[in-house]
Structure 1
Amino acid sequence: MTTRLWIERPFSAKTGRLEIEIMTNSKKHEYCLICGRLLDNPADPLSGNCGGDCWGCVGAIEAEMGCEESLAYVRKEYEAGLRPGWIDPFKR
């Protein structure tokens, strides 16, 4: 989660408008909105941030829906032992 802080500055000498600076604090950790996994964790290959959800969840959902590219990645991850217990939706 990113925290934003708005700082209003006096009028700019160049534009004559009120300046607003946005400062962000990106030190806070973000977690998957589906499973709660820490996102972008270098030690976890399934933690890639897919718009607020982890690749572990998104990949499984997309594979279940029949997305060929995601299904190919998820199958490789299963074979590598990254997805224990995963069941291929097209080999049931």
Structure 2
Amino acid sequence: MLWIKEHTPFRKDSKTAQKFSDNLSHSRERLETLKAQLETAKVEAVKEFPQEQELAEKTERLGELNALLDVGKSDKVMMDEEPDEK
């Protein structure tokens, strides 16, 4: 029975306890860092994007250009195709 008690996962081991303590401290520090980053992100998310209007205009123009390019593609495909002669 003595052997079983000494080798169970629940025995007190100073190295294991120290590792646990170090890991806990590191995890707490990491948690505080993440909380600070979250608060910063919340503030940044509310701020207005300075180039928002410019982005909207350029996105709209890009859509128009893509539509024109797509129209050109379908016309070209139709002109390149020759009817099958039998």
Please state which band the TM-score falls in when normalised by the shorter chain: under 0.3
The TM-score with structure 1 as length reference comes to 0.23
> Which structure's relative contact order is higher, taking Cα pairs within 8 Å and 6+ residues apart?
1
Structure number with higher strand proportion: 1
Larger Rg: 2
